[in-house]
């Protein structure tokens, strides 16, 4: 019986491993294709997309040409400013709001929290046209990085508040705050020196999720930013794809350059992802 049980467990482990490997290959194949073709000439990409180097061999000219044509340093600056400032404001305001919602059992707080939760189910496409009409036609404040950052904050804060709310409610003892207040710490000092450091898992998770989302966002920036000097990386890569021709070699190189910063961020914070998601979602 023990031998049969070991055999069954071995088969299950093998099947799980096999499924994991297959899923890994499926998910990584597009990334592999982008990296592979980023070092090939345009004709080789079209005729032999799966080959190594093609007939003309590997080349790094794609990266040089894409870097120059995109004005990469400028669009990288735009993407970094928009993403970093947006993520910073989302984390700051959502953590403070969630803290107030948890610690102050006011009726108005409960109503606002429920409204924020309901807003999470509204698709962006529903409010897209009215939003652009109001901010563009009525206020005339489109084509500004600050406008895009403000919109990112508005669309993202509800989810962040929800996750911080769950973590604070189940993972931050109020006794620590009471001890700090007895020692003379005010509300702000108690939050930033006692509470906020304990939110590290959820904070790291949200930083990764929103950094990925905002860095790769194409739709909203394309509606807000029309000046080429304000383009972000996803919009700039669209320049290599036209109606009648596609510079696939430059497009692949641009995509690789766009992916690198996100990969670095993910590697730096990956150990907090599972802990943050579980703490923020399950404990709520």
What is the per-residue pLDDT for 124? 81
Instruction: Compute the average pLDDT of residues 198-216.
Output: 87
The more confident residue out of 277 and 76 is 76
pLDDT for residue 192 is more than 80:
yes
Residue of 21, 85, 81, 129 whose CA lies nearest to 231: 81
What is the per-residue pLDDT for 212? 85
Report d(CA 160, CA 280) in Å as an integer: 9
**What digits encode the pLDDT tens for the residues 126-163?**
888 888 888 777 777 888 899 999 999 989 999 999 99
What is the per-residue pLDDT for 141? 80
Residue of 138, 159, 140, 38 whose CA lies nearest to 94: 159
Q: What pLDDT band is residue 85 in, cutting at 50, 70 and 90?
A: very high
pLDDT for residue 284 is more than 50:
no
Report d(CA 215, CA 82) in Å as an integer: 8
What is the per-residue pLDDT for 274? 59
pLDDT for residue 277 is more than 60:
no
Q: What pLDDT band is residue 243 in, cutting at 50, 70 and 90?
A: low
DSSP state of 246: B
On whether the pTM is more than 0.85, the answer is no
pLDDT for residue 254 is more than 50:
yes
Q: What pLDDT band is residue 283 in, cutting at 50, 70 and 90?
A: very low
Q: What pLDDT band is residue 273 in, cutting at 50, 70 and 90?
A: low
| 59, two tokens | 């080349």
Q: Which residue has the tokens 């990764």?
A: 208
**What digits encode the pLDDT tens for the residues 22-79?**
999 998 898 888 888 888 888 888 888 777 766 777 888 888 888 888 888 999 999 9
What is the per-residue pLDDT for 31? 87
Percent of the chain with pLDDT over 70: 91
| 166, two tokens | 């769950």
Q: In the beta sheet, which residues pair with residue 246? A: 241
pLDDT for residue 87 is more than 80:
yes
Q: What pLDDT band is residue 179 in, cutting at 50, 70 and 90?
A: confident
Report d(CA 44, CA 54) in Å as an integer: 5
Report d(CA 234, CA 239) in Å as an integer: 10
Residue of 249, 247, 203, 212 whose CA lies nearest to 233: 212
Mean of pLDDT over the chain: 84
Strands (E), 33-137: none
Instruction: Compute the average pLDDT of residues 242-257.
Output: 79
Query: Among 173-182, 206-215, 263-272, which range has the highest average pLDDT?
Result: 206-215
What is the per-residue pLDDT for 280? 47
What is the per-residue pLDDT for 98? 93
Burial of 252 (0-12, 13-18, 19+ CB in 10 A): buried
On whether the CB atoms of residues 258 and 234 are closer than 8 A, the answer is: yes
């Amino acid at each position: 019986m023990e031998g049969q049980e070991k055999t069954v467990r071995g088969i299950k482990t093998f099947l799980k491993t096999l499924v994991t490997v297959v899923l890994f290959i499926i998910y990584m194949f597009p990334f592999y294709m982008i990296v592979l073709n980023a070092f090939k000439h345009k004709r080789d990409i079209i005729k032999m997309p799966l080959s190594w180097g093609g007939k003309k061999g590997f080349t790094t000219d794609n990266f040089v040409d894409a870097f120059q044509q995109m004005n990469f340093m400028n669009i990288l600056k735009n993407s970094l400013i928009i993403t970093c400032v947006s993520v910073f404001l989302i984390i700051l305001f959502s953590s403070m709001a969630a803290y107030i919602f948890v610690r102050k059992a006011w009726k108005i707080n409960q109503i606002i929290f429920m409204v924020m939760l309901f807003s999470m189910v509204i698709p962006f496409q529903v409010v897209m046209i009215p939003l652009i009409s109001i901010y563009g036609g009525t206020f005339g404040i489109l084509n500004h990085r600050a406008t895009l950052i403000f919109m990112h904050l508005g669309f993202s804060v509800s989810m962040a508040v929800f996750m911080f709310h769950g973590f604070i409610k189940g993972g931050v003892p109020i006794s620590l705050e009471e001890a700090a207040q007895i020692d003379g710490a005010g509300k702000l000092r108690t939050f930033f020196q006692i509470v906020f450091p304990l939110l590290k898992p959820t904070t790291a998770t949200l930083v990764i999720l929103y950094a990925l989302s905002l860095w790769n966002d194409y739709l909203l920036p394309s509606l807000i930013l029309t000046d080429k000097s304000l383009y972000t990386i996803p919009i700039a890569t669209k320049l290599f794809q036209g109606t009648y021709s596609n510079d696939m070699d430059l497009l692949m190189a641009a995509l690789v350059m766009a992916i690198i910063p996100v990969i670095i961020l993910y590697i730096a914070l990956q150990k907090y992802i599972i802990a943050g998601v579980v703490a923020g979602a399950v404990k709520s």
